[in-house]
Amino acid sequence: MTLFTPRTEIEAARLVADLALTKKPVTIQGGATRAGLGRPNQTEATISTNRLTGITLHEPAELVISAKAGTPVAEVAAALDAKGQMLPFEPMDHRAIFGTTGEPTIGGVVAGNHSGPRRIQAGACRDSLIGVRLVNGRGEAVKSGGRVMKNVTGLDLAKLVTGSYGTLGLLTEVTFKVLPRPERALTLLIKNLDDARAVAALSAALGSPFEPSGAAHLPAGLSRPIPRTILRLEGFSVSLEYRIGQLRRLLADFGELIVLEGEDSRGLWRGVRDCEFLAEPTESALWRVSTAPTRAPQVTAAVAAAVPGARWFYDWGGGLVWLSLPPTADAGAATVRAAVASAGGHATLVRAPREIRAMVDVFQPLGPLTRVTGGIKTSFDPAGILEPGRMYAGM
Amino acid sequence: MSPNIFSIPETMIGFLIGFKPCDDPLVYACPNACDQNDAGTRETPNMTTIAFPAPDAGIIARRDEIVAGLAKLVAGEALITAEDELRPYESDALTAFRKVPLAVVLPSTTEEVAAVLRYCSAQGVPVIPRGSGTSLVGGATPQEDAVVIGVSKMNRILEIDYANRAARVQAGVTNLAITGAVMADGFFYAPDPSSQLACSIGGNIAMNSGGAHCLKYGVTTNNILGLKLVLHDGEIVEIGGDHLDMPGYDLLGLLIGSEGQLGIVTEATVRILRAAEGARPVLFGFPKPELAGAAVAAIIGAGIIPVAMEYMDKMAIAICEDFAKAGYPMDAEALLIIEVEGSEQEMDDQLVRIIEIAKKHGVTTIRESKSAMETAAIWKGRKSAFGATGKIADYICMDGTIPTGQLPYVLGRIDALVTRYGLRVANVFHAGDGNLHPLVLYDINDPVERQKAEDCGLDILRLCVEVGGCLTGEHGVGVEKRDLMPVQFGKADLDQQMRVRAVFDPAWLLNPAKVFPLEGRVAA
Ligand SMILES: Cc1cc2nc3c(=O)[nH]c(=O)nc-3n(C[C@H](O)[C@H](O)[C@H](O)COP(=O)(O)OP(=O)(O)OC[C@H]3O[C@@H](n4cnc5c(N)ncnc54)[C@H](O)[C@@H]3O)c2cc1C
């Protein structure tokens, strides 16, 4: 296994071109904190982005930041924080569930389209991403998008490569639009709702004019004995006071609203964002299911009926379900896939032992989209050297 | 829910969005919008600089056979072949380009779209997807050897799901009809192009259209959850659904903004949002454009993102005020329309902050809307900016985006450019996101001036790229900016885009003359 650490995009492009000539498959690595994502693949070489680092542009008045792919997320966050700004989509940090220790990189965030609780209000990573530079499997440096907020020039390859786990190219630089950090943030907590009632409460709040920026439900037994339904409000202080009052009225039927602020509030959302509640036991399998919110309780009920010991919680108003299942032979794949097939949506096996991830579909099977997906992969990487098999077997 | 509460006679559309059909050079190109005899006076040679590929003589020769083949696939009234009935489809809102297509098909179902595409694909006949024909860049311009597939008959709202905040609609439904269907329940569909009364959601998806309120709510691509798409060979695929983030590669992101080159969209699942409790636009008049620009930057810098921040220069103010009687300050050199939303108290609170900033930047007029009617007039003026301009002169509408910090510099350069060409310009734009719409005024009957206007427009776009921006922020590339693509992209960038395109359309039959320069095209 050879490790390459290019210092520039030109160097990276030359490297990939060489690997393509000799058809050497390659793994792409940022901080390696999320190396457990996807199907395990065998490659002869690894390209690390750990020397492709640094913020290349930050114009606070224009709400835009660019950084080389290997830049630690923490560095980007700190630069924004210093100007009272933030990444709108609240990227998940996978270290809690993988027990890894390195520094997550900004390129890794884009490679997995990792978004947190604020996704329901401010969009996903792909929505904030306004430009990328990458090296495709031919060793060509390619750019898409740019540094401006609105841009419809040509095909949007920036979105296409977001969430492609390195299979379409080695990201070298990414550009985001950012938002001002809210003046104040707080959590509204309702106790003791069952899943269906909780999702109904979250739907009512999300369908109100009061703009929650987080909407999650933690069933009983996740670090507290009772179920907790939580909403996050962010904005100017005066406005929050008003919205608390309105939501109290709107959600009166669901129970008392308790206001949490400061670390009590922040800690909860960090827990939701990083799936901390299901990090233990470390050997359990973790699934991430995206579905329409009102159908999420039906997914968890179907899984619970078939798999003793299943645990879960909901984010995105119910639309995102994190499921923890005992590490059985298929990590519950058959059950989860069947439940999602009937509810609509998709499921990803986020954490499971290597052998299981090699055997079951980790990402949602593509069905009729297999042909175009394969075609796109080939159009970027005709020699098939970039992370082969990482997302789909034989692709 | 009635899907038709917003349907209006097509003859009215042009008027409602600010055109008087037919006396307007940029006539609203919807079928039957005007008496075609009138069109003769507007007939002008095609833009000299932008070429279309020569029509395929083999296809033209087989016209009768192809028409007969199409007739077997769709109901009689869905197939248009008579010369005079084809005329309304000869262009979109970029009327400088006119080509009468071989035939027009207006299917009623996804299956019909699939059958027609499969047939055209097998016959090697080019296909031009069409929504309402409001594209400003020739995205829907046909060609003589092509079949136009229009989705305008597929205009039903299929499902509204408030609990999950999603609506499933057919591609031909108008943008405003979606909001119309959910408005009574307090919801809306966010992207609001000025053409929203007429343009289709399918066209919005193809162009990734934006609007005045996109500063807060994002553009089309941020508001679509799923698509039903017919591929070139007639295969019907679903992309995404009513959940967030599709699995696998982000084909939604790829399809949105692909300008009808990757397939025909027949259905979409869109996000619907709960409207704020109230919205209030405020007019801010400034003595200098630079001051308005600096105020915009300062507002954002203070952590305030209003729902909309729209800029107009003196010429645009005069034109729009004359049309809408909205109370725009006629003495100002620059106007900002800033809209805030929320409860009364929230709006007041935000406005206090915004006004304080505006005062630091020398604002001379501040006028808040005091009623729903005033609000409507303020937005009517802004949204009919193009139409109202069309009443006083012919114009070319440009659509570049620049980094907002470059605003004062770019306005100065545009001024200099326009003066050099001996032309006039009216500037309207989405100030919060740097999306410029300079309207270059000229006389369409003067070929020399017309060429100057085209050249000037293209120079303005080159300027946008030069300062770090792009050729188009929301209108798309179409034919108009096709040959400028190498200004923004290198060969490797364009090759990669074209290779992806070729995966969906290996024979380059879907909207083939658009987006990518005719030279140097590559296959997958
Ligand atoms: C007065 C005026 C104001 C405007 N204001 C704005 C504005 O504020 N913001 C903005 O973004 N745009 C604006 N536009 C431009 C235009 O309205 C948009 O580009 C709109 O989205 C086009 O929609 P349409 O249905 O008319 O599509 P068409 O003009 O018919 O087609 C546009 C493109 O979409 C493709 N297409 C259409 N339907 C489909 C389909 N079902 N499947 C695949 N491809 C398809 C066509 O091939 C073509 O390339 C304005 C235009 C006018 C005339």
Q: Which of B6-15, B300-309, B393-402, B464-473 has the lowest mean pLDDT?
A: B6-15
CA distances from A322 to A217, A264, A292, B414 (A): 11, 22, 14, 53
pLDDT at residue B302 is higher than 50? yes
Number of Cβ within 10 Å of residue A154's Cβ equals: 28
- State yes or no: pLDDT of B9 exceeds 50: no
Query: Per-residue pLDDT tens for B441-458?
Result: 999 889 999 999 999 999
Please give all residues whose beta carbon lies within 6 A of any atom in ligand 1, as ranges. B 17, 92-93, 128-136, 139-140, 151, 171, 193-195, 199-200, 202-204, 206-207, 209-211, 259-260, 264-265, 386-387, 474-475, 511
Mutate to test the pocket of ligand 1, among B127, B195, B251 (most ligand atoms within 8 A of CB): B195
Smallest Cα distance from B521 to chain A, Å: 14
The yes or no reply on domain B3-33+155-274 and CATH 3.30.465.10 is: yes
Residue B408: pLDDT over 70: yes
Cα distance between residue B430 and residue B440, in whole Å: 17
Contact status, residue B140 vs residue B129, Cβ threshold 8 Å: yes
Which residue has better confidence, B246 or B96?
B246
Asked if ipTM goes beyond 0.90, one says yes
- CA–CA separation, A165 and A175 (whole Å): 18
Beta strands in B178-307 (DSSP E): 187-188, 224-230, 236-240, 264-271, 273-274, 279-286
State residue A119's pLDDT score.
98
The residue whose C-alpha atom lies closest to atom 44 belonging to ligand 1 is B260
Calculate what percentage of chain B has a pLDDT beyond 70: 90
Q: Domain B393-466: which topology?
A: Alpha-Beta Plaits (3.30.70)
Q: Among residues A194, A188, A199, which one has the least CA distance to residue A318?
A: A199
User: With contact defined as beta carbons under 8 Å apart, do B396 and B390 qualify?
Assistant: no
pLDDT attached to residue A56: 98
Please list the residue range(s) of chain B that carry CATH number 3.30.465.10: 3-33+155-274
A21-25, B95-99, B418-422: which range is least confident on average? Answer: B95-99
CB burial of residue A252 (10 Å; 0-12, 13-18, 19+)? exposed
Task: Say if the Cβ atoms of A320 and B244 lie within 8 Å.
Answer: yes
Q: Does A159 touch chain B (CB under 8 A)?
A: yes
pLDDT below 50 — which residues of chain A? none
A172 and A253 Cβ atoms separated by less than 8 Å? no
A344–chain B Cβ distance below 8 A for any pair: yes
| Residues of A whose CB is below 8 A from B135 | none
Domains annotated for chain A, with CATH where assigned, are 1-181+365-395 (3.30.465.10), 184-273 (3.30.70.260), 276-364 (3.30.70.100)
Our CA dihedral for B9, B14, B16, B18, rounded to 10 degrees, sits at 180
B336, pLDDT greater than 90: yes
Q: What residue spans in chain B does CATH classification 3.30.70.2190 cover?
A: 279-386
CATH 3.30.70.2740 domain range(s) in chain B: 393-466
β-bridge pairing B187-188 and B273-274: antiparallel
Which pLDDT score is estimated for B405? 87
- Condensed to tens digits (0 to 9), the pLDDT of residues B15-74 reads 333 333 333 323 333 333 333 333 233 333 345 568 888 999 999 999 999 999 999 999
pLDDT at B31: 31
pLDDT of B2 higher than 60: no
Quick one: pLDDT at residue B524? Answer: 64
Strand pairing of A55-59 and A64-68?
antiparallel
Which residues in A lie closer than 8 A to residue B243 (C-beta atoms)?
290-292, 319, 344-346
Spatial neighbors of A381 by CB under 8 A, at least 6 apart, are A136, A137, A138, A167, A168, A169
Distance from Cα B478 to the centre of ligand 1, integer Å:
10
Any idea which fold B279-386 has? Answer: Alpha-Beta Plaits (3.30.70)
DSSP B259: T
Is residue B13 over pLDDT 80?
no
Q: How far apart are CA B395 and CA B140, in angstroms?
A: 19
| Cα B135 to middle of ligand 1, angstroms | 4
- The CA B389 to ligand 1 mean position distance, Å, reads 19
**C-alpha–C-alpha distance, residues B33 and A115, integer Å:** 46
